[in-house]
Structures are given as structure tokens and as C-alpha cells.
A = this chain, B = another copy of it.
């Protein structure tokens, strides 16, 4: 299988899960001190992950958790982000310009900064109060959700936290590589059909909204230089649907959280108006050892990532386009 190192991927997930004692210690420290609000800070792909984490918390808890866009912070500001707030962020390089600017401003407000900064010797690692360095961008969502889970556990919103993580510790890593194997044939077929699409629409809801947002922008546009548009399933029905016809390539991500009915509504409509639709449903990917009741948490977004990784691997090969080159980003100052 293309770009697939089973052992490495298992170790990557297992390694992220092994960060849990460190995450718990830091979250518990913040918890004991108390806080007025939780902000997931991001831009681009980390903004998408932030949206996923906050939607996840909102579905299960009354905790005051919000997305804070980095560039909006250092321009518009947020007077409710205070010295008593907890800010969670993630960065591979530790140098993302807008996040550095936002974090410098947040330090003036005095909030506690918890950073998953993959490059420990970086400006963002220096600026954060607490840093966890685990250089694996594919586990960003898992890290964000681990913080969310611990916060919810402490808040009394997650009684079976221990059982849940026992299942993840024992079965998640293998479950994901198995799903990726299952998805490979689909990925190739999808890419053969869509690799020259002039525009591709991706639709999703719930924690799959962050997934389609990031997939369309950070993968198709940024890495593959393919045109795509993401649209929330509920919003699709309020405008974008009118440009869809028999020739429009549309892919719907179906997840397993509270907003699944919003995606299912689009799934019912698409066959009536569109001649070129694809459904990717995480329910089609069974994972041994993970209880049904836990699938709507981190599992569903990670399974979707397994599927899209297969698409990306085949796009890179068939389109003869290395995913790690950029036309403009970080190529010159702007």
C-alpha cells in the first residue's frame, strides 16, 4: 500500500495516547486553580481542529469552551479571554506567524497557555506555560480531544472516562490501520474519478465539519493544488445546493455524533439533484474493541482521516504532484 507504514502508524497513535498522564496532570492543575473559559486557538488546519474539539464539548457538556481564531484575536480581540482563561493550541513548527502574534497578546491578558508544540525549540514552545512536544501532526485532534475529555471528566460529564480510554489504549491504533487498509481500494477508485475535477464540494456536519473544512483547504487546495469548497451540511441547503447538478462532484462526510442527522438529510437529497456524489460514512468502518457508544467521539473523525489519507496517497501518485511543495506559503514574505 502506498505511503503506508503500518508499524509506524500504530506507534504514532500509541505514542499520542501515552501522553495522557501528562495531559491529565496539566489539565488537573488548571482545574484545581479554576478557570472562567476554555479557548481552542487556531488558524487554518488548527482552526479546523479547534472547531472539532469545541463542537465535541458542546454536545456533551456545559463547559464554557470556545474557538478563538488566532488572527481575529490580535485584531478584533476578545475581552472575555482573561487571566483566568485556559488557551489550548497546537503547532507543528512552533512558528506560525499569526499564532505567535496572538499568543504574545494572550500573554498580556495573562491566560494559561497549554501548547502541543511539536518543535520544542521554537518561539511558541517558549511562549506557552505548558508544552507537550510530540512531533506527529496526524495526532493533533486526538491531543485536543484528550484535553477536552479530561476537562469533561473533571466536570462530571464523562463517568466512564477510564473505560473509554482503556478501549482506545488497547484498540484504537490497530483499528485505524485496519480501517486504512479497508479504505485503500475506495481511495484509488475515488482518485481515478476525481483527480482532475475543476471543483469538488465537500460537505459535513458536527465534528466532520472541521474535517471537511480542513480536508478541502489543507489537503486539496494547499497540498494537492486542487480546487475544492467545504460547506456545512446545514448551510449547504441554504444556497450552495443551487449550483449542484448532474455533473457536480460532491462528497459528503457522514460522522457519528449528534449532527449526523444534518448530514443524513443531505444524503437523502443528493441522489435527487446530483449525478456525481460520493458518501464517506465512518459507520462503514468497524473497529474491533471500541464500543458503539464511543464511536461518535474521537473515533469517527480519526476514521475519516484514515479514508482521506488513502485518497491523498493516490492523488499524489496519479497527479504527479508532491504533497509537501507549496506555490506561495512560506516561499516569500507577505
Tell me the minimal C-beta distance from A51 to chain B in angstroms.
Answer: 11
> Quick check: is A265 within 8 A (CB to CB) of the other chain?
yes
Contacts of A78 in B (CB 8 A): 58
Report whether A239 and B258 are in contact in the complex, using a CB–CB cutoff of 8 Å.
no
CB <8 Å contact, A206 and B64? no
- What would be 19 A-B contacts, judged by CB atoms less than 8 Å apart? A44-B237, A45-B238, A71-B205, A71-B262, A72-B259, A75-B258, A75-B259, A75-B261, A75-B262, A76-B206, A77-B258, A198-B198, A218-B239, A222-B239, A225-B243, A265-B334, A269-B328, A269-B334, A272-B334
Identify which of A17-25, A138-146, A163-171, A226-234 touches chain B. Answer: A226-234
Given contacts A217-B239, A273-B328, contact A76 B55 (CB under 8 A): yes
Q: 8 Å CB contacts to B: which residues of A66-104?
A: 66, 69-72, 75-80, 98
State which of B77, B225, B239 has its C-beta within 8 Å of the C-beta of A59.
B77
Task: Give A127 Cβ to nearest chain B Cβ, in Å.
Answer: 19
Mask for A29-49, Cβ within 8 A of B = 1, else 0? 000000000000001110100
- Tell me the smallest distance from the CB of A174 to a CB of chain B, in Å: 30
Query: With A and B bound together, what is the CA distance between A58 and B257 in angstroms?
Result: 30
Question: What's the Cα separation between A242 and B82 when bound, in Å?
Answer: 36
Asked whether any CB of chain B lies closer than 8 Å to the CB of A268, the reply is: yes
Which residues of A from 209 to 268 have beta carbons under 8 Å from B?
217-218, 221-222, 225-227, 229, 232, 234-235, 237-243, 245, 257-259, 261-262, 265, 268
- Is A242 touching B327 in the complex (CB atoms < 8 A)? yes
Report the separation of the CA atoms of residues A69 and B269 in the bound assembly, to the nearest whole angstrom.
21
B62, B265, B329: the one contacting A80 at CB < 8 Å is: B62
